[in-house]
Structure 1
Amino acid sequence: MDYGVNFDQNDKPNFPLQTSPRALTGFVVSHAHLDHTGALPIYQISGSKPVFGTLMTKVITEVMLKDFLKLSAAHIPYEWVEVKKTMESFTAVEYGQEFEIGPFKVRLDDAGHIPGSAMITVGTDKGVVTYTGDINLTETKLSKRAEIEKLKDTSVVVMETTYGTFRHLERPKVEDEFVNAVKEVVEGGGTVLVPAFSLSRSQEVMAVLAEKNFPYPVYFDGMIRELTRMMLENRQFVNRYDVLSKAFETFQPVRGWEDRHKVWRERGVIVASAGMLKGGPSVYYFKRIEDNPRNAIFLVSYQGERTPGRRLLEMGKFDEQSKLLKARLQMFDFSSHAGKDQLLEILRAVPNLQKVVLVHGSEQSVQGFGQLAKEQLGVEVVGPENGQDIPLWS
């Protein structure tokens, strides 16, 4: 269930542990973000392994893998032929459709994280396991809340803990504060840069501005255009197709360097990848607007440790050599991950819960939420080490 890649402080990919291809029957993918899909082609090098996920996940995974290969080819143990084999081996399945992989019966249900994201429920001869993938109970412009009512037969939950010790603000309040702040900057003669992940966060921000009938120019740059088009072509996976479609039709794509040189001089909003300012066009725009206090950088994505976005929040500087930022800096909580209260709500929706395995979070988050879950639910909680074998049933 998922096979992704993370990045070190030098932005080089870290690949996960590997096992013998003979021990693997196939893969099920929860969603298309690289930290859940980026290593899939490794198991297509010496053979072919089936991959399953939703149609939305399938089409976006291909784009993400191609872009990853283009940007990081020197550090990746596979080539284009393995990406091609991965996509040829990828079978799209619908939410609620039960299918079999070897002896296992598998079902995907909406996880509410991004369009096409899924919880993966696996039936075995000993019991039922659900892997949440990245999950969210807050309805957003892109996604409905996760279908946790489908977890009635589950006894073991493998759960993400990205925000296991954090309580999110109410989404309507965040949206209003964001739009009002953007208007304030633009009406004061400034430009707003919104660094955002190309997949999902950028579309969410654009949809919010479109729904609020934002009256000033909005530009979007990077892979955002292609990924938005794919979402609109698969409208069954988009919660508010109307406002995303309105954003795509109303706002202006940046089509090259000639446009790029112009738009940062305009009074308006630029939504650009990458979300942590580690690369992409957002860095170009940042360098052009950072010295003017009329301008603003509004962060809307998670800022990983030692990234430029995190350094801005902690030090007010892009890096150690940079001067202090003069433009306005503000963070808005547009997270598509459940916070600690929602994670507890998910577990409470599992009437036969026996064990919880916590993954996809910092050590502090896993330990903090694990203690909370033990105290409030009285179930066994495991925060495994990398590579640790976990007996799911005693």
Structure 2
Amino acid sequence: METVKIHFLGASGTVTGSKYVIETPELNLMIDCGMFQGLKELREQNWQQLAFEVPNIDVVLLTHGHLDHTGYLPRLVKQGFDGKIIGTAPTLAITEIILKDSAKINEEEAVRANKEGYTKHSPAKPFYTIKDAEITINKMKAVEKDQWHKLSENIRYRFKFNGHIIGATFIELEIYSKMFVFSGDIGRTDDLLLEAPEKPTKADYLFIESTYGNKLHPKESTTQKLVELINKTIYNRGNLIIPSFAVERLQTLMFILWKLYKENKIPNIPIFIDSPMGNNVLSVFERFPDWHKIPRKEFIAMQDRMNIITSYKDTWKTIDDPRPKIVIAGSGMVTGGRVLTYLKQLIDNPTTTILLVGYQAEGTRGRQLLEGAHELKFFGKWHDVKAEVEHIESLSAHADQSGLLDWMLDIENAPTEIFLVHGEPTALDSFRVKIKDTFHWKTTIPKMYEIKELKL
């Protein structure tokens, strides 16, 4: 009998910072290496030394490229990690884009904070630099999905397609003949851009995300809501600002708007795409056509219809453009990025509409807007919110409770234990009860920094 320890180092009791270390007699491996976002007490943990001897970690496996699953990687490397970072080719392409963009934002914000004096630190330092990101990227290794890859005598893994974003997978990890399944983020069966997720058929230990563990996605019509808001924007001669995640959400919005225009459901309103990272992600869709559903011809036509902004100078030209317009800009939870520049100028204007199109984590500006905040703080100052705030929840790239349960249906054995991760407390507990009632499987909600010892 062998002992395996699971270290829950993130996304435990919260929906951010996914990272787990599996300590075995043969090697130590890490599943995802995410950065905490949202609440200040979570973000402050990003600056702490990892609660595990980092040089003893042999390999990192990534489910997908989102910041809350990859954003801590440069810090891990600075703390002494010297192994390989492994994922599918599109996942590593997305990770490279996100790490470089995040590093650039970190450097710029540190400079701005020091210049304008809105920092308690003297001086403010970036969380990591572009150089740190580049050193990390050099440790990445792409492998094929659907194939078993051996790590040691008794440990092997494979990546399985999981929807959600381009390149995303769940991980099957076989340790001493026991199957550990890490869901990563599970996509939706009706995704516009991606095929339906595949499903696991065996799991002795299942680690499953619970973002929408207590919710069903509304049956609202995304296209109808967009048409209404666009017509209203034109009538008011205002601006429709859509903070967007650069990966998958941005491309989905572009595809929907292009189809609405092509089908004459919206007029020829200017549409500006202002997300340097999102622009880079478009190139990933071009490089990996087998990973998504958009035909190349349509993909090119979609981009030709949009005004894709490449310079900060053009950001200001867009702000000064008096025409009614749609602006899609990062970031999706209004935590940083170009969207803050637009909001600084336009959030106090009643003809502005801010449309939130994804999950808004606790402690983010997006959540504050969603909950009716009358003012918002960014760039060290408070800004009155006079813009209207709208929300389309049905565009989420995460499976809802029904989708999560459906994803588990093909598991043929009764897992020894299920661990619910990547969810806020209410979602986690609701999902725990639902699994118990549906499958009668042992289900646990691990706490942050808990260590679970398993006898295999």
Compute the TM-score of the two structures, normalised by the length of structure 2: 0.78
C-alpha deviation, 1:202, in angstroms: 1.5
Does residue 1:367 correspond to 2:397, yes or no? Answer: no
Q: Are the equivalent residues in 1 in contact too, given 2:104–2:130 (CA < 8 A)?
A: no
CA 1:49–1:168 in structure 2 vs 1: closer, same or farther (change >3 Å)? same
Q: Aligned letter for 1:222?
A: S
What corresponds to 1:377 in structure 2? Answer: 439
Work out which of the residue numbers 84, 90, 111 in structure 1 matches 2:134. Answer: 84
CA 1:335–1:252 in structure 2 vs 1: closer, same or farther (change >3 Å)? same
CA 1:77–1:301 in structure 2 vs 1: closer, same or farther (change >3 Å)? closer
CA 1:25–1:316 in structure 2 vs 1: closer, same or farther (change >3 Å)? closer
Aligned mates of 1:251, 1:279 — CA distance in 2:
23
Does residue 1:288 correspond to 2:382, yes or no? Answer: no
What corresponds to 1:35 in structure 2? Answer: 68
Aligned mates of 1:230, 1:241 — CA distance in 2:
14
What corresponds to 2:249 in structure 1? Answer: 201
Q: Are the equivalent residues in 2 in contact too, given 1:43–1:49 (CA < 8 A)?
A: no
Work out which of the residue numbers 208, 215, 223 in structure 2 matches 1:166. Answer: 215
Does residue 1:301 correspond to 2:361, yes or no? Answer: no
Which structure is higher in strand share? 2
What corresponds to 1:328 in structure 2? Answer: 388
Does residue 1:267 correspond to 2:297, yes or no? Answer: no
**1:127-176 alpha-carbon deviations (Å, 9 max, x no partner):** 1111110112333233222111xx113232110111111111247x2233
Aligned mates of 1:135, 1:79 — CA distance in 2:
30
Q: Which stretches of structure 1, 4 residues or longer, exceed 6 Å deviation after superposition?
A: none
Work out which of the residue numbers 152, 158, 164 in structure 2 matches 1:113. Answer: 164
Aligned mates of 2:239, 2:232 — CA distance in 1:
10
Q: Aligned letter for 1:61?
A: T
Q: Are the equivalent residues in 2 in contact too, given 1:179–1:209 (CA < 8 A)?
A: no
Please give the secondary structure, in 2, of the residue aligned with 1:309. helix
C-alpha deviation, 1:357, in angstroms: 0.7
Work out which of the residue numbers 254, 260, 273 in structure 2 matches 1:220. Answer: 273
Query: Which stretches in structure 2 are left out of the alignment for 5+ residues?
Result: 1-30, 108-123
What corresponds to 1:14 in structure 2? Answer: 45
Q: Which has the higher contact order (CA 8 A, sep 6+)?
A: 2
What corresponds to 1:157 in structure 2? Answer: 206
Does residue 1:59 correspond to 2:93, yes or no? Answer: yes
**1:162-206 alpha-carbon deviations (Å, 9 max, x no partner):** 1111111247x2233224432332254332111111222222111
What corresponds to 1:249 in structure 2? Answer: 304
C-alpha deviation, 1:80, in angstroms: 4.9
**1:218-251 alpha-carbon deviations (Å, 9 max, x no partner):** 1011222122223222222222245443322220
C-alpha deviation, 1:23, in angstroms: 4.1
Work out which of the residue numbers 304, 307, 317 in structure 1 matches 2:374. Answer: 317
C-alpha deviation, 1:124, in angstroms: 2.0
CA 1:393–1:342 in structure 2 vs 1: closer, same or farther (change >3 Å)? farther
What corresponds to 2:116 in structure 1? Answer: none
Aligned mates of 1:349, 1:88 — CA distance in 2:
38
- Percent identity of the aligned residues? 24
What corresponds to 1:277 in structure 2? Answer: 334
Please give the secondary structure, in 2, of the residue aligned with 1:319. strand
CA 1:367–1:200 in structure 2 vs 1: closer, same or farther (change >3 Å)? same
What corresponds to 1:356 in structure 2? Answer: 418
**1:279-318 alpha-carbon deviations (Å, 9 max, x no partner):** 2221222233334433311111222223322222223423
Q: Aligned letter for 1:226?
A: N
CA 1:129–1:12 in structure 2 vs 1: closer, same or farther (change >3 Å)? closer
Please give the secondary structure, in 2, of the residue aligned with 1:350. coil
Aligned mates of 2:425, 2:454 — CA distance in 1:
21
Aligned mates of 1:40, 1:269 — CA distance in 2:
34
CA 1:80–1:319 in structure 2 vs 1: closer, same or farther (change >3 Å)? closer
CA 1:235–1:183 in structure 2 vs 1: closer, same or farther (change >3 Å)? farther
**1:25-79 alpha-carbon deviations (Å, 9 max, x no partner):** 3111011111111122344343521111011111121121122223335656765
Compute the TM-score of the two structures, normalised by the length of structure 1: 0.90
For residues 138-157 of structure 1, what are the structure 2 equivalents within 5 Å?
Answer: 138-148=189-199, 151-157=200-206
What corresponds to 1:122 in structure 2? Answer: 173
Work out which of the residue numbers 230, 233, 236 in structure 1 matches 2:284. Answer: 230
Aligned mates of 2:294, 2:198 — CA distance in 1:
17
Q: Aligned letter for 1:36?
A: H
CA 1:319–1:116 in structure 2 vs 1: closer, same or farther (change >3 Å)? same
Query: Which stretches in structure 1 are left out of the alignment for 5+ residues?
Result: none
Does residue 1:68 correspond to 2:123, yes or no? Answer: no
CA 1:152–1:181 in structure 2 vs 1: closer, same or farther (change >3 Å)? same
Report how many residues are paired: 390
Q: Aligned letter for 2:178?
A: G
Aligned mates of 2:81, 2:352 — CA distance in 1:
53
Aligned mates of 1:77, 1:262 — CA distance in 2:
31
Moved more, 86-95 or 40-49: 40-49
C-alpha deviation, 1:209, in angstroms: 0.7
Please give the secondary structure, in 2, of the residue aligned with 1:58. helix
What corresponds to 1:185 in structure 2? Answer: 233
Aligned mates of 1:183, 1:349 — CA distance in 2:
45
Aligned mates of 1:69, 1:170 — CA distance in 2:
38
Q: Aligned letter for 1:130?
A: V
Q: Are the equivalent residues in 1 in contact too, given 2:348–2:384 (CA < 8 A)?
A: no
Q: Are the equivalent residues in 2 in contact too, given 1:309–1:318 (CA < 8 A)?
A: no
